[in-house]
């Protein structure tokens, strides 16, 4: 398990209540989602002064570290990870109402081991409020414009297409082993922002020579006209066809995954009046061991799956 702590230091006191409201909303949304390519929420802690999400632990780190690390990886790994990301995003976009990620980028794609294919990728930080705790979307747009779609940088509303653009950027990074726009001539991020809005994109020449189908998919995802961008359902279909060219056994596996994984939901972990913490049903000895390592005292006197936690000094 991994504990994601919500820190409120530096947030004006008048905004803290809104932060907590968004935290509760995120728990409600995330706990109702169950998908192989989404990082699972196992529980939450809502004690006085401490708020945290208890997530499944991903043992291979994040995609950013893989892309920028010293070790190379084959094209089959790129295709498998791209499919996993698109599969998780397609699930989010298929919900009613639609769930937008709004912060899709390599640090928010977590990895765990897969015996046959090397990696299993899962989308993280997809709660509606996770990325709004410490900064607004517009503020982030100035700080990290790389994965943000041109219409978001222009101040327009976020949509499913904006997540598709971010996926195109990630696919470029997977293939080039580096962030896009490295060859652009700019001194400040605000200049890069204007270049992206004007339609400038990184060159796909090298990718076209080795994987022309993937180069076309990237171009489809970051074309100047967002109305022409594909949906994640269409991206999945494209990836399966492209994989068939390079690795027929992987393509068959992905086709099976696409057919097998459907919209499945959990009953959800609801905030219950008077209680601070709610966890997935587990034998008490499991949680005693887990929270002992985290130096948290657990009181199991409450029945069912509702627990009371206190942080040790």
pLDDT of residue 229: 92
Helix (H, G, I), strand (E, B) or coil at 2: strand
**pLDDT, average across residues 134-146:** 47
pTM of this prediction exceeds 0.85: no
Beta bridge partners of 4: 53
pLDDT (0 to 100) of residue 127: 56
Active-site entry in 62, 84, 103, 247 = 103
Decide: residue 92, CB within 10 A, 0-12 exposed, 13-18 middle, 19+ buried.
buried
Mean pLDDT of the chain: 76
Instruction: Tell me if residue 185 is catalytic.
Output: no
In angstroms, the CA 226 to CA 228 distance is: 5
Q: Assign 193 a pLDDT band (cuts: 50, 70, 90).
A: confident
pLDDT band for position 290 (cuts 50, 70, 90): very low
HEC string for 184-201: CCCCCHHHHHHHHHCCCC
Look at the alpha carbons of 68, 69, 72, 77 in this order and tell me if their dihedral is positive or negative. negative
pLDDT band at 31 (very low <50, low <70, confident <90, very high): confident
Domains, the chain, with CATH or none: 2-56+265-311 (3.30.200), 63-263 (1.10.510.10)
pLDDT band for position 295 (cuts 50, 70, 90): very low
Q: What's the CA gap between 248 and 238, in Å, rounded?
A: 14
Q: How confident is the model at residue 273 (pLDDT cuts 50, 70, 90)?
A: very low
8 Å CB contact between 251 and 80 = no
Q: What is the pLDDT of residues 74-93, one digit of tens each?
A: 999 999 999 999 999 999 99
Q: Are 111 and 58 in contact (CB under 8 A)?
A: yes
Return the bridge partners of 121, or none.
Answer: 111
49's tokens: 């002064």
């Amino acid at each position: 398990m991994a504990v994601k702590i919500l820190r409120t230091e530096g947030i004006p006191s008048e905004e803290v209540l809104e932060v907590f409201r968004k935290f509760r909303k995120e728990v409600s949304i995330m706990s109702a989602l169950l998908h192989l390519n989404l990082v699972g929420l196992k529980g939450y802690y809502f004690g006085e002064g401490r708020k945290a999400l208890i997530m499944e632990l991903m043992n291979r780190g994040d995609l950013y570290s893989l892309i920028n690390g010293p070790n190379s990886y084959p094209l089959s790994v790129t295709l498998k990870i791209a499919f996993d990301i698109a599969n998780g995003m397609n699930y989010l976009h298929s919900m009613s109402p639609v769930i937008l990620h709004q912060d899709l980028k390599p640090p928010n794609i977590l990895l765990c081991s897969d015996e046959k294919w090397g990696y299993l990728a899962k989308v993280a930080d997809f709660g509606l409020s996770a990325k709004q705790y410490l900064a607004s979307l517009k503020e982030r747009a100035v700080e990290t414009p790389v994965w943000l779609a041109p219409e978001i940088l222009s101040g327009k509303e976020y949509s499913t297409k904006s997540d598709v653009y971010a996926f195109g950027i990630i696919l470029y990074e997977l293939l080039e082993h580096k962030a896009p726009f490295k060859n652009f001539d700019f001194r400040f991020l605000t200049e890069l922002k204007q270049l992206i809005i004007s339609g400038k994109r990184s060159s796909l020449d090298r990718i076209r020579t080795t994987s022309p189908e993937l180069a076309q998919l990237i171009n489809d995802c970051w074309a100047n006209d967002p109305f022409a961008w594909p949906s994640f359902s269409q991206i999945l279909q494209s990836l399966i066809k492209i994989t068939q060219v390079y690795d027929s056994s992987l393509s068959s596996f992905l086709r099976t995954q696409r057919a097998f994984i459907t919209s499945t939901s959990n009953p959800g972990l609801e905030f219950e009046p008077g209680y601070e913490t709610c966890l997935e049903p587990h034998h008490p000895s499991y949680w005693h061991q887990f929270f002992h390592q985290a130096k948290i005292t657990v009181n199991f006197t409450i029945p069912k799956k509702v627990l009371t936690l206190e942080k040790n000094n």
